[in-house]
Amino acid sequence: MTLESLQEELSQKDIKAQLLHLANLFPGGVCFSTSLGQEDQVITDIIARNKIPIRIFTLDTGRLFYETYELVDRTRARYKIDIDVFFPRHETVEELVTKKGFTSFYDSVENRKECCFIRKVEPLGRALAGAKVWITGLRADQSANRHDMPLVERDEQRQLIKFNPLIHWSFQQVLDYLKEFNVPYNPLHDKGFVSIGCAPCTRAIEPGEDPRAGRWWWEESKKECGLHVAS
């Protein structure tokens, strides 16, 4: 099956059918990475309520908000599911902090990307080891970098298929789904936090600001950590 034919086939299905199709097509090889954001909670709800055999994992950078950790436990309890947790390698974190301190990411984009690589990108590689399909909660209107991302793409770096089931969803659709199915979400969203990452690197945004404005607000960049790069 070609990437084009898979995209065409999936585009004719709703999200539940899409996830079921991938799980059947790649048994034991489909995984979903959740950062516990609103979009990710939608996908977790669909997987869990329909008992779709897709592995769910998250990355703990060691710098997350308490509310995010609490949401992991609430989600596990609500759906009676496992969420695998991957941590950065402690030796690498110790070396970074020893040499550059706890807040080197404020000093330059290069330092911030180094921290993101250590705490997020490298653990992601381990989490995806052996996977055939990687499911994400990306939406096209989250950032300019994500605007042209397709429903299905080939991640050449990691040699797997990347599936973005919510890529064409609007933010309002996400909110409507959360309300309809009473899906647990991070209470920080109600305080102006749209995109929630590490606590030192995330702030609430003002009305009218770009959704990614609250991430690494002190720098001029594409507001990405390296997990998702446009093909």
Q: Would you please indicate which residues are annotated as catalytic (active-site) residues?
A: 225
Q: Which residues lie closer than 8 Å to 101 by C-beta, 6 or more apart?
A: none
CB of 158 closer than 8 Å to CB of 64: no
For residues 215, 221, 224 and 225, what is the CA-based torsion angle, rounded to 10 degrees?
-90
- 222: buried, middle or exposed (CB in 10 Å: 19+, 13-18, 0-12)? middle
DSSP state of 219: S
User: Which residue has tokens 């991302």?
Assistant: 149
Rounded to 5°, the CA angle 144-118-131 comes to 75
Q: How far apart are CA 119 and CA 86, in angstroms?
A: 10
160-163/133-135 β-pairing: parallel
Rounded to 5°, the CA angle 226-229-230 comes to 165
What separation in angstroms does the CA of 22 have from each of 130, 168, 187?
A: 15, 19, 32
User: Which residue has tokens 């653990």?
Assistant: 123
Q: Which of 169, 170, 217 is nearest to 193 (CA)?
A: 217
